[in-house]
Structure 1
Amino acid sequence: MFKLFDRIKHWHRVAYFLVAYDFATIIVSYFLALWFRFDCRFSHIEEPYFDIYCHIIVPYAIFVIFIYWILGLYRSIWRFASFFEIKRLVYATVITIFCNALLVTAFVYRMPISYYVFGIGFQFFFGVVIRFSYRFVLLLRDTRAAEMPDSNVLLIGAGSAGRMILRDVNFVNGGAHGAAKVVAIIDDNPNKWGRYIDGVEVIGGRDKILWAVKEYNIKEIFIAIASLSPREKRNLITICKESDCKIKQLPNMYAEKAGIISAGNLQNITIEDVLGRDPISLHQEDVANQIQGKVVLVTGGGGSIGSELCRQIAKYNPKQLIIFDVYENNAYDIQLELKKKYPYLDLVTLIGSVRDARRIESIFATYRPNICYHAAAHKHVPLMEDSPCEAIKNNAVGTYKTAYAAMKYGCDRFVLISTDKAVNPTNVMGATKRICEMIIQTFDKAVREHHEDMLPYLVSHYIEFESDKSERVKSGSGHTEYVAVRFGNVLGSNGSVVPLFKKQIAEGGPITLTHKDIIRYFMTIPEAVSLVLKAGANASGGEIFVLDMGEPVRILDLARNMIELAGLRPDIDIEIQYIGLRPGEKLYEEKLMSEEGLKETENHLIHVAEPIKFDSESFIENLYELMRLAYNNEAPEVVQKIRETVPTFKG
């Protein structure tokens, strides 16, 4: 018998108990109704009424239990009882009282009205009490547990998002485990000061943050304002960082609109939040007009800059978007992302190298792109110092071959992604990117002057310089506009120090810094790419666009910010070590060469550099010699030839 009982599921046992409880309380409810009707004296209850009660109460109780079963009131998980269960109880109450009053009055006997009023009231009361008592007991237990939390939380934001976070922390997740509890709220709206949300006081504005941290022994700060601008967020984070608290934030606006905010939506503050500028307001109609309905090729389309170019180009409804990259994993990732987000986009993903002239020509001949964004390049400064031949092959020769194919197959615009390291370069990587800019200027000059036939066809490294004239583009047949866009470091890119610092912090340090005074310009990837598209759309050919990178950032400050954002202390929890400048590395980057001057454009964030004049024929001869030396892997000779080719190279 007991073994059989043990085999019954727990929720079945709860349901059987509720059935027995409901049966008993329904009988008691209507007895109490008669008892109240006759002044709470059993001897005063008139015999006809009591007889009718005795005859109908058992069938009625069975009927009520049947209705409860139909409405699912024996299948709920009562520790999570909510408005849904209350609503079902109300439905059951209305149905049963209506049937009881109608049928008994019509076919049996007219009972006092108070009998039905008190009876249904007791029935509803007893039904609610048993079903919600379990949750009430759990709530009391959780409240007691939350009185001694492991971590006191300061909540910033007393809006709807803040209220959801508060309830999730105090009553759903945090309070249940005693791990965290919101003990005070900050909001800049004076109308909310001194008032309470779920028992937690709004103590004041942001000027009270540091006071609250000390007064309430705060360990964590949650920023629950979904619509903060980057400037407001940066100011708020700056205040919070003066404490030793761990800071988390609500990442975006969609969560509040979707009504799915919880403590799990909160994310750690990122370095982009600290360094990020206000959003750029660009009129992108010209970008849309340029890209819409066009075939667009992005070389290096799987990289950090290339993939963001693909994301932003896709939203302008191109006729076809071609992702070209040598690394298949990155290309595959961005392909999957774009196919999911833009299912109707004509997307082509191709694998290959810009060093392979025949592969490049095949792509241009097959797809005839109208616009080419050339982001493929080796960008790692120390690695290129050790492998200068590869830098020439990929950066310089790869750019030349791609630019030539663009001219040969009628591409309307070729946009080179350059770098501030091309300005007065002190390293091989920067010098090769300066060569890329010179290639762009050479091609633009040749097209404008109808001297396309003067540009050699560098199909492969073993063809002699003078033996390929038959393959050259005919004079006057080109119409491609060539431009370059130059900017500095982007936060989170593959070559940025940010991923390196994150990894070093996760490993417990130390953070390795080349020099305490080193500075760099930083820009977010989406911001940089939006300006690249804008510059490319406004180009007329031959320009070197320089993007406004804002104020330079000291890398030491960047490292300290990242350590503090991880909830750690610089030089105490995480050591900062200075390892010296790497080969070819500058203390600071310049945005333009001293010989160049900046011209203003309509957009104050985009400038045009006055190009340095050079002999195109001598440059082409030097480039061919560089190509020959690089493919013969003569590294010292390659570096010397780079010095001859780029007069501003100081490496």
Structure 2
Amino acid sequence: MKSGLISKIISLSRPAKRAISVVTDLCLLSLAIWAAFALRFENLNWWPDSKQLMVSALTIVLTIAAFIKLGLYRAVIRYLSEHAFLAIMLGVAFSGISLIVCGFLFQALVPRSVPVIYGAFAFLLVAGTRFTVRAVIEQRGRKVKDGVLIVGAGPKGRQLVSALSQGTEYRPVGFISTVDSNHKSLIGNLPVFSIDHIERAVRELGASRVLLALEDSVPVNRKDLMKVLEALSVPVQTVPSMSELVAGLARINDIRDLEIEDLLGRDPVRPDTAMVSSSLSGKAVLVTGAGGSIGSELCRQILRHKPSALVLFEQSEFSLYSIERELKSINQVEALGVSLHAVLGSVTHRRRCEAVMKAFGIQTVYHAAAYKHVPLVEHNVIEGVQNNVFGTLHVAEAAIATGVERFVLISTDKAVRPTNVMGASKRMAELVLQGLAKRQRETVFSMVRFGNVLGSSGSVVPLFRDQIRDGGPVTVTHPDIIRYFMTIPEASQLVLQAGSMGQGGEVFVLDMGEPVKIADLARKMIHLMGLEEKNEDNPDGEIEIIFSGLRPGEKLFEELLIGDNPQGTAHPRIMMAREVSLPWSEVAELLESLSRSSQAFDCGAVIGLLKEARTGYAPNGELADLVWCNSGSHKPEVPNDSNIFHLK
């Protein structure tokens, strides 16, 4: 019955609710004045005389007018804040003074203590009824909201509590602090538990999920935090980073699945900002593949080093539109003053690359454009070679022709003793740049090689996440498969660092930390999404992991070095590989043959040439190109000489 009455009142129109508030305050203020006089005269049967009645009525009318002027009746009770609290205080103070003045003007009997007693009663009644109504409404809402624990008791956590309290989905029930001394304290009437008591907090407070709101500037032992969170029986999610909030790309209450890359357990990369800035600040920079996972993060970080111009070169229209819009927002919010240019184009078009570099006076190129999905490139050999090998060649030759000072290739650990076409094509791209570095000295070429980046277009993380959301199963190729992982921001920071260190022809290798077992990564993701793995020991689990077998060209273990004696650099997380390179004459001859075979769509010849080249390519399966295998005839059509790509 009570619930139905509250629902009816809530559903009333705003004017009707305001009228109810005014009538209620008239009654409450009348009660406060009568109680003040009755208490002063110690007579519960007290009744005002004509002058006291006139003074009381005028005081109440003036008080209601003051409340209207202060905006008290415009405030929505369910969202009542400290501003309404202050308005009531001011209104009541004005009301007490009005009682004194009216009593003096009408020569009514108003003892000096009555205005004070009246003010106290009026405040308690007017404020108390409003905050009681707010509490009742909130209590109704709590029943349909999910209780959440917030890890992080700093400004970000408190801001999240405020945002969630106004929403309709989540109800903050407490904080988890990484500072032990905060245990058993209160923040905004919410209990605070230390990280060691998080399981108890989840149980006692009835939390249905845990939200991470860690401060970007506060160091946290993420490895230990991961172990604690993984053991919980509820989903763990996170809120946007401060950079996203500042750029206007997200709101504090935009809840998202936990980014496991944030919890790899390694110390954050500390780049030499001065060295990187000196190679980027005030320079015209071009990034190929600017809409990709690595390319877009490179653009974000390059932008903050304030180049004179940043050219985004990308063949995907939507990807280019997305990154341009994001960077424009960052550029405007942070007042960086960088000239941004979004250019559509493919790295396989040499003249387009050269025209773009010449038009914008490019001084530094970061070449991130590549086909990098191993099975797809294995099934599309010609396109993989054209994009990864000849795309690199075209961009590099355009850079030399336009006088670019520095050129950095984003390579991969799959280029080391490759077993797939993607890795062989990237190693071939490295040999091309090493040859060009020997052929000329004007443009400084360097390569940066690293392993998998979590969250990239080729990463297992988004795939696993989608499979878990769909109820499983999660597919892992092999129970023992191991990969090196690095976050996209980490990799991009080290790429910029290594690029600024290059002198010509070096292959830099990033320290990827400890390798990660893919099956273990899948299990962590299942646990962190509040689910259990279904296996022989736990047949009642929700998500099953199945092993599908290694795909064409896939290895159990990836390597970062061909040789065994890397050379250190000025940065502890960057090494320089000592590896074989070829003179430009040999590279040019090899590229001539590769160009002829690829333009003839002769996949067999292309694979043979990649094997003969000093790439270390040793395929672990049969040729898997889809067109080649389904053409019925493997005899290539030899193109006219006019269509062959000739090298200088």
**TM-score, scaled to structure 1:** 0.82
Whole-Å Cα distance in 1 between the matches of residues 559 and 166 of structure 2? 53
Instruction: Tell me how far apart the structure 1 counterparts of residues 156 and 305 of structure 2 sit (CA, whole Å).
Output: 33
Unaligned 5+ runs, structure 1: 1-5, 449-478
2:555 counterpart letter in structure 1: K
CA distance in 2, matches of 1:289, 1:557: 41
Q: Give the equivalent residue in structure 1 for 2:641.
A: none
Asked if 1:641 is matched to 2:609, the reply is yes
Q: Which residue is 1:455 aligned to?
A: none
Structure 1 residue 370 displacement after superposition: 1.0
SS in 2 for 1:544: strand
Residue 531 of structure 1 aligns to a residue in which SS?
A: helix
1:632 corresponds to 2:565:
no
Q: What is residue 405 of structure 1 aligned with on the other side?
A: 398
CA deviations 1:13-66 (Å, max 9, x no partner) are: 4444444444455555445544444441769x9xxx934324544444433333
8 A contact 1:543–1:611 mirrored in 2: no
Q: Out of 188-197 and 86-95, give the one that drifted further.
A: 188-197
Residues 1:275 and 2:259 aligned together: no
Distance 1:505 1:229, change over 3 A: farther
What is the correspondence of 1:562-641 to structure 2 with a 5 Å cutoff?
562-571=525-534, 572-594=541-563, 597-641=565-609
Q: Secondary structure at the match of 1:354?
A: coil
Query: Secondary structure in 2 aligned to 1:580?
Result: coil
Given that 1:231 and 1:277 are in contact with CA atoms closer than 8 Å, whether structure 2 keeps it comes out as no
- 1:392 touches 1:627 (CA, 8 Å); kept in 2? no
Matches within 5 A, 1:162-241: 182=173, 187=177, 189=179, 191-194=181-184, 205-210=194-199, 219-226=208-215, 232-241=221-230
Query: 1:180 Cα deviation (Å)?
Result: 6.3
Task: Pick closer, same or farther for the CA change 1:17–1:508 going to 2, 3 Å.
Answer: closer
**Displacement of 1:365 after TM fit?**
3.0
| Contact 1:81 1:135 survives alignment (8 Å) | yes
Give 1:554's match in structure 2, choosing from 507, 517, 533.
517
Mean CA deviation greater in 191-200 or 381-390: 191-200
Distance 2:213 2:390 in 1: 51
2:368 counterpart letter in structure 1 = A
SS in structure 2 at match of 1:438:
helix
Distance 1:446 1:235, change over 3 A: same
Alignment partner, residue 86 of structure 1: 85
Deviation of 1:351 (Å): 1.3
Pick from 468, 490, 513 the counterpart of residue 453 of structure 2: 490
Cα separation, 1, equivalents of 2:77 and 2:210 = 33
Which whole-Å CA distance do the structure 2 matches of 1:218 and 1:435 have between them?
A: 54
- Cα distance per residue 1:406-458 (max 9 Å; x no partner): 1122111111111111111111111111111111111111115xxxxxxxxxx
1:40 counterpart = 2:29:
no
Provide the rounded CA distance (Å) in 1 between the counterparts of 2:106 and 2:593: 112
Q: 1:624: how far off?
A: 0.5
> C-alpha separation between the residues in 2 aligned to 1:525 and 1:563?
22
Asked if the contact 2:381–2:603 (Cα under 8 Å) also holds between the matched residues in 1, the reply is yes
Residues 511 and 577 in structure 1, CA contact (< 8 A), matched pair in contact too: yes
The equivalent of 2:389 in structure 1 is 396
* Separation in structure 2 between the aligned mates of residue 292 and residue 328 of structure 1, nearest angstrom: 28
Match of 1:287 in 2: 276
Report what 1:135 is aligned to.
134
Residue of structure 1 in register with 2:307 after alignment: 318
Q: Distance in 2 between matches of 1:52 and 1:549?
A: 87
Aligned partner of 1:438 in structure 2 is 431
2:546 aligned partner, one-letter code = Q
Quickly say closer, same or farther: Cα 1:214–1:538, change in 2 above 3 A: same
In our comparison, the structure showing a higher alpha carbon Rg is 1
Q: Unaligned 5+ residue runs, structure 2?
A: 1-8, 535-540, 620-648
Q: Distance in 2 between matches of 1:512 and 1:414?
A: 38
> Secondary structure at the residue paired with 2:445?
strand
Q: Does 1:329 align with 2:306?
A: no
SS in 2 for 1:102: helix
Amino-acid identity (%)? 37
Shift of 1:206: 3.9
RMSD (Å) for aligned C-alpha atoms: 3.5
Distance apart, 1:587 and its partner CA: 1.1
Shift, 1:385, TM fit: 1.8
Counterpart of 1:437, as a letter, is E
User: Could you tell me which residue of structure 2 aligns to residue 357 of structure 1?
Assistant: 350
- Distance in structure 2 (CA, Å) of the matches to 1:166 and 1:374: 43
Change (3 A) 1:255 1:118: farther
1:76 has 2:69 as partner: no
Structure 2: distance between partners of 1:349 and 1:69: 54
Name 1:473's counterpart in structure 2: none
Q: Name the amino acid aligned to 2:512.
A: M
Give the residue type in structure 1 aligned to 2:580: I
CA distance in 2, matches of 1:26, 1:151: 39
SS at match of 1:546: strand
Distance in 2, matches of 1:18 and 1:257, equals 40
Structure 2 residue identity aligned to 1:587: L
Are 1:52 and 2:51 counterparts?
Answer: yes
Query: Relative to structure 1, is the Cα distance of residues 286 and 219 closer, same or farther in structure 2, using a 3 angstrom cutoff?
Result: same
Whether the 8 Å CA contact 1:276–1:523 is kept in 2: the answer is no
Corresponding position: 1:12 with 2:11: no
Is 1:338 the counterpart of 2:332 in the alignment?
Answer: no
Cα distance in 2 for partners of 1:132, 1:180 equals: 18
CA contact (8 A) 2:154 2:215 kept: no
TM-score when scaled to structure 2?
0.82
Is contact 1:388-1:428 (8 Å) kept? yes
Q: CA deviation at 1:597?
A: 3.3
